[in-house]
Chains A and B, each alone.
Chain A
Amino acid sequence: MTDWTREMEEEAIAWLIRQRDPSFDDWETFEAWLAADAAHARAYAETAAADRDLDELLSGVSWPAEAEPDFDEPVVPSRRRWLGGALAASVALAVAAGSWLAWPSRDLYSVQTAAGERRTVVLADTKLELNGETRIELDRKDQRFARMEQGQALFTVRHDPAHPFRLETADATLVDAGTTFEVTTGGGALDLAVSEGMVVVDPGKAGIDVPAGQRFTLAKGQRTGRLSAVRPADVGAWRSGQLFYDGAPLSRVAADLQRNLGVPVSVNDAAATRPFRGVVRLDGGVEPTMARLGVLLGAPVRRSGKGWVIAGP
């Protein structure tokens, strides 16, 4: 399948290493190398794709003991395994190399948690408490910026009018105005709940102010969001093992349970949009939680393989 030599591959690797340097600027020499032999281009394409594949492969590895950071990584090692550590997956620091939009003006790195795990990240003037199954990108050069692709996190931000904290999600940009707020995102939906201060959604355009005690939800595929009330005490309640719902769809409840418990939880199509009101307590572990949920819903909650399924009424 391959028509290039080992030497060409070595050269392709050397280019990849050089290009990873943010100041790399020698694209014309690179182009000349590519143009010199069609096999060069194929060797590079294959090697660059394999290199990109490494992002995922490297996200779960542990590094040699002597190589552990004595460096200034801003991650506080207060990860606590929760509910007896349902999953033995590791919290991983991965590289955000695939994000070409961010290159090179931002210097991003990512922090992620597996389902059932929690992690606290402290930046200058900002505390991020990550729930399970959450992936967030931070900028080494800008401590007032974060990007969240999926998951749930509680942000406690010291407001600085000159440098507002800015959070990008796939659906909106959120800017703090002195704030504690929780963001849940993924699968095209966004949920923002503010317990202190105020957050501005998409500032500059038709900016929406979301003050304390309000929740802003953007459903999948919708362009406009909805505001509703939220009790400030309920924001971030997952940290104390409780999930509060006031009309959220069961699909959201299932996603939250999976995130918090570390086991796959799904919901039947028929029940996915059914609204749920109530408090789910997470104490005791997976089985008691699911049993209580079944009672609350008045609907079967069944084990299915390694996970659980919430069935319709």
Chain B
Amino acid sequence: MDDVPPSGLQAVILANREKLLRFLVSRGAGDAAEDVLQDLYVRVATADAGPVAQPLSYLYRAANNLTVDRFRSRRQTERREQDWSDAAGPTEPDRSDDPPPDRSLVARETLAGVQAVLDGLGVRTATIFRRHRIDGVQQRDIARELGVSLSTVEADLRRAYRALLDYRRSIDEV
């Protein structure tokens, strides 16, 4: 894709181009799949990733994360445009639009909301969620640590995600 000889990960991309493209299309990238793959190709050249044990799996993960990034930034752009047209109305020349709402106030309320959701989960579920989501501990290690079964860990994690994602969505709908 460019003049520089491909790095190890780039060579893996080239060898698995069709596979990765198919994955990106399934992930909803559509016509942008080629762009995302190109982006990935450039990024792995500059990434000081160290030795990668399972390069293809690493690339799937990286491609997946890139797709999340793109989805989020597109959504943010749409929201911003929506906010502007809702809040500011037509922009007049020589006159600044209304200031954005007090972000720190919104952030405080949001934090209180997340806190309430976590508190409502109960100590065990919140602890399992924290070990998984914040500390990055594997599920079977969490189970051993807390003396519960693996299926309890899984069920608690689903419950915690469900509650937090529902809360996350409720903010958007305000």
A residues lining the B interface (CB < 8 Å) = 9-10, 13-14, 16-17, 19-25, 27, 31, 34-35, 38, 41-42, 44-45, 47-54, 57-58, 60-67, 71, 73, 93-95, 98, 100-107, 109, 140, 168, 173
Contacts and interface: CB of A to CB of B under 8 A. Distances in A.
Contact of B169 (A31, A50, A98, A107): A50
Contacts of B130: 63, 67
A171 to B, nearest CB: 13
Contacts of B162: 10, 13
A16 B165 CA distance: 12
A100 B61 contact: yes
B17 interface: no
A22 B126 contact: no
Interface residues of B, number: 54
Contacts of B135: 71, 73, 109
A27 B59 CA distance: 10
B27 interface: yes
Contact of A64 (B75, B114, B119): B119
Contact of B49 (A61, A105, A173): A105
B87 interface: no
B60 A17 contact: no
B47 interface: yes
A214 to B, nearest CB: 25
A10 B75 CA distance: 22
18 contacts: A13-B158, A20-B132, A20-B136, A41-B26, A41-B28, A45-B27, A45-B67, A50-B168, A51-B161, A52-B72, A53-B72, A61-B114, A64-B123, A67-B126, A67-B130, A101-B49, A105-B53, A140-B136
Given A10-B162, A23-B138, A35 B43 contact: no
